[in-house]
Structure 1
Amino acid sequence: MTPMNPIWGYIAGGFILLMMFSFIGIWIWAWRKRHKPTFNRMARLPLEDEPDTEADTKENRP
């Protein structure tokens, strides 16, 4: 059995750092103040009633 090349440790470490910084970057982007109104609106979507217009009901019929 041959030992693993030590370069793979550096590659794995670099990949982990890249993923960690990507996660932190997306987390910071999502928690910016300018996104709050959009996220609040999206959070209320499941609670809103569906519109009862004639055009909407005709589209949903088979």
Structure 2
Amino acid sequence: MNPAAVQISPFWGNAIGVMIVLMLLVFIGIWVWAWGARHKPTFDRLSRLPMEDDELVPPHSQELRS
């Protein structure tokens, strides 16, 4: 064993393990919430925004973008 290795107490080892599990559960919860069926209409509408952008730009400003 390396004499310079730091030993942590079992309490902190368990506390870190619990925190990792809690963070994983929060991540999975946010993922499930975001991919829920009730969010699909909003995401579909937001996904079309980049394509609708050209319709909102006046014709004379198209020349400036080129």
**Normalized against structure 1, the TM-score is what?**
0.70
**Normalized against structure 2, the TM-score is what?**
0.67
Counterpart for residue 19 of structure 2? 15
> Deviation of residue 50 (structure 1)?
5.0
Q: Confirm whether residue 4 of structure 1 aligns to residue 8 of structure 2.
A: yes
Q: Confirm whether residue 38 of structure 1 aligns to residue 39 of structure 2.
A: no
- Computing the radius of gyration from Cα coordinates, the structure with the larger value is 2
> Deviation of residue 52 (structure 1)?
4.1
> Deviation of residue 3 (structure 1)?
2.4
Unaligned runs of 5+ in 2: 62-66
Partner Cα separation in structure 2 for residue 30 and residue 37 of structure 1: 12
- Corresponding pairs, count: 54
2:56 to 36, 45, 51: 51
Give the stretch that moved more between structures: 2-11 or 30-39. Answer: 2-11
Q: Any runs of at least 4 consecutive aligned residues in structure 1 with deviations exceeding 3 A, and if so which?
A: none
> Identity of paired residues, percent?
52
For residue 40 of structure 2, what is the amino acid of its counterpart? K
Partner Cα separation in structure 1 for residue 10 and residue 47 of structure 2: 48
Superposed CA RMSD in Å reads 1.9
